[in-house]
Amino acid sequence: MRQLSRRAALAFGAGGAAFTFLGWDQGAFAAAKEAADAIAKFTGGKTAAKAKVSIELPEIAENGNTVPLAVSVDAPMTADNYVSEVLVVAEGNPNPGVATFHFSPLSGKAEASTRIRLATTQNIVVVAKTSKGEFFTGQKLVKVTIGGCGG
Amino acid sequence: MAEKPRLKLPKQAKKGDVIEIKTLMPHIMESGQRKDKDGKIIPRKIINKFTAEFNGKPVFSANLEPAIAANPYLQFSAKVEESGTFKFSWTDDDGTVITAEEKITVA
């Protein structure tokens, strides 16, 4: 009886340790790294200045399945100086990519709105590229009550 | 499932105006993350590209990822200098391209 209980205790202890080890959640960390990689690819390794980009998102999104997002970049949008591309990345989604918007001088304004899915509370990062090869960035935190991925 | 997209833009504008265009395409935007009852992953099926042209010139386009909500909605602007036709297109993962057109009179 004594033997058994000691064995049981050992087994339980080992099982518990394994569970802790496997359960260590690296998901969020991996997603943030993927997001950083996507941004680095977009900018070609250049540093984006924290300016000119504004992001409109609810502070708290009750339903992660459809979260309104509006992005705008302060730019003249003339033939020789306009925002050509805007990358939107979600740091905490299973796939960080959200969308890439392509603008032209005919766009008039570097502004776009859409509705996005968010798995969890996370940062949304926006990087804009101008026709002159400059990069600007901004980010915003959204709290998500019910996630919009998987199921 | 060639659903009809919904478009909202002015019929008339003044030369040089920046107008607002809203588009909505009915589509499930299956993310490829969800599982069915048997635990099998439901394959991804989304609209992955949207384009808007005015008289054949690019105005706005977007590459979309599964993180775009169902029934993809896009709002953007366009600067109009002449009368003409906007042409919109949505490309599905299965290769289907859905197009729509809208005319505008610029005075």
The complex scores an ipTM of: 0.95
Sign of CA dihedral A45, A47, A53, A59: positive
Q: Which of residues 34-73 of A touch B (CB under 8 A)?
A: 65-67, 70
Report pLDDT for A130. 97
Dump pLDDT digits (tens) for B83-96: 999 999 999 999 99
- Taking contacts as CB-CB distances below 8 angstroms, the residues of chain B near A57 are none
List the CATH number of the domain containing A99: 2.60.40.2470
Structure letter (DSSP) for residue A149: S
Report pLDDT for A21. 43
Residue B37 lies in a domain: yes
Report pLDDT for A51. 95
Is the pLDDT at A16 greater than 90, yes or no? no
List the CATH number of the domain containing B66: 2.60.40.10
Domain extent, residue B46, equals 6-106
In whole angstroms, give the CA distance from residue B7 to residue B49: 17
Dump pLDDT digits (tens) for A109-118: 999 999 999 9
Number of compact structural domains in chain B: 1
Residue B1 lies in a domain: no
Domain extent, residue A62, equals 2-146
Burial class, B20, CB count within 10 angstroms (exposed 0-12 / middle 13-18 / buried 19+): middle
Would an 8 Å CB–CB cutoff place B44 in contact with chain A? no
Residue A151 lies in a domain: no
Contact B68 A117 (CB under 8 A): yes
- pTM exceeding the 0.80 threshold for the entire prediction: yes
Dump pLDDT digits (tens) for B9-50: 999 999 999 999 999 999 999 999 999 999 999 999 999 999
Residue A37 lies in a domain: yes
